[in-house]
């Protein structure tokens, strides 16, 4: 199946710093990538949808200036948490969707392994 990687897998940072998380589709071209966050034992909440070469579409309640998303190529999207605070601590997961990825066609989203962010 299609493989999506995330880097780093975990990060600890001080309050006020910025953290960048990378999401890569390794064996297919991802026309669309999604960013989610998940609190312990909770559902995944969609934060934003990004299409290669265009601005991300953010879900209601998600601060665009705080969570900067760049989808610079068909295999890479980045999420930058700016001026991170303890309440931003969470599990961030990306997913990618493309054509014929893993045989799943264009509807299937393939998820990365997630990034655990802890803000002190």
Where on the chain is the footprint of another protein (CB under 8 A)?
1, 4, 6, 32, 34, 36, 41-46, 49, 91, 93, 95, 97, 102, 104-105, 107-114, 116
Q: How far is the CB of 32 from another protein (least distance, A)?
A: 7
Looking at the Cβ atoms of 5 and 82, the one nearer to another protein is 5
Output 6 or 75, the one with its CB closest to another protein.
Answer: 6
Cross-strand pairs, 117: 11, 90
* Closest distance of CB 89 from another protein, Å: 14
Tell me phi and psi for residue 93, to 5 degrees.
-125, 135
b/e sequence 91-110, b meaning 16+ C-beta within 10 Å: bbbbbbbbeebeebeeebbb
3-class SS string, 96-112: EEECCHHHCCCCCCEEC
How far apart are CB 68 and another protein at their closest, in Å? 21
Measured from the CB atom, the residue of 87 and 107 that comes closer to another protein is 107
CA 105, CA 102: separation in Å to the nearest integer? 8
Instruction: Compute the least distance from the CB of residue 102 to another protein, in Å.
Output: 8
């Amino acid at each position: 199946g299609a493989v999506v990687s995330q880097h780093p897998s975990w990060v600890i940072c001080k309050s006020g710093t910025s953290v960048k998380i990378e999401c890569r589709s390794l064996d297919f071209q991802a026309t669309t990538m999604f960013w989610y966050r998940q609190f312990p034992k909770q559902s995944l909440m969609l934060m934003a949808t990004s299409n290669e070469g265009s601005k991300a579409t953010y879900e209601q309640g998600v601060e665009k200036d705080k969570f900067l998303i760049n989808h610079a190529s068909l295999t890479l999207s980045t999420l930058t948490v700016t001026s991170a605070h303890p309440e931003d601590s969470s599990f961030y997961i990306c997913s990618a969707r493309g054509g014929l990825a893993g045989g799943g066609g264009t509807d299937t989203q393939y998820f990365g392994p997630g990034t655990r962010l802890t803000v002190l």
